[in-house]
Amino acid sequence: MFINDLVTLSLSPSAHAHADDTTYTCSHSDSLKLEQLCSVDLEKIHEWCVLNRMTINIEKSHFLVFGKPKNKICLKIGDDILSQSNNTKLLGFYLNDSMTWNEHVEMLVAKLQRNIYLVKLCRGYIGTLLQGSSISSLSIAISYLGLGYKFISVYHKNIF
C-alpha cells in the first residue's frame, strides 16, 4: 500500500494530490524568481522521490506558465529537463497559458455532438427501450451507448 505524503513537504507554494496525480503550483511576478522558487521545490520533490524509491514519468510531466514571462524558464527534476506546454488537462478541465477556455469548450462540444449523434441513431428504439421505465433509465442507456460509441459509429449501418 502506498500513501502519497508528497503534499506534506514544505514547498514554497503548494502541491495538490488527486488520486494518483499530483500538481505543483507556484507563482511570482518575476520570471527569474519564479524559476528559482520552482527549482528549489522541484529539488525537494526529486529528493522525496529518491527517498521513496519512486520515479517521475518525465514524458507525462510538464509545466505551464500563465502570462508572458520576461525570460525563458527552464525547470529540471534531477537531471531531466521538464518540457513547457501551452496547455494541459487538470481534473477534467483543459487549461491553457493564455487563460482562455477554448480547448475545454471544444472538448465539451465534441462530447455533446457525439452524444446527440447517438441519441439520433437510437431515437426509434428509445421508446421500446424505456417502455415502463423512468427517465433515469434513459440516462443510463445513453451512458452505455457512449461507451460503445466507436463500435456503433463504425458498424451502425449493419446494426440498424
Flag the least confident range among 11-15, 30-34, 107-111.
11-15
Pick the more confident residue, 71 or 8: 71
With a CB cutoff of 8 Å and minimum separation 6, the contacts of 22 are: 4, 6, 7, 15, 16
Rounded Cα distance, 154 and 94, in Å: 28
Q: Where residue 160 falls among pLDDT bands split at 50, 70, 90?
A: very low
Give tens-digit pLDDT for 33-91. Answer: 989 999 998 998 899 889 888 888 899 898 988 887 778 899 999 899 999 998 888 87
- Sign for the CA dihedral angle at 148, 149, 153, 157 comes to positive
Place of cell 449493419: 158
Domain spans of the chain, in order of start:
6-89, 106-159
State pTM to two decimals: 0.62
**pLDDT over 90 percentage in the chain:** 12
CA 114 → CA 21, 43, 123, 126, distances in Å? Answer: 28, 44, 14, 17
14, 23 Cβ separation under 8 angstroms = no
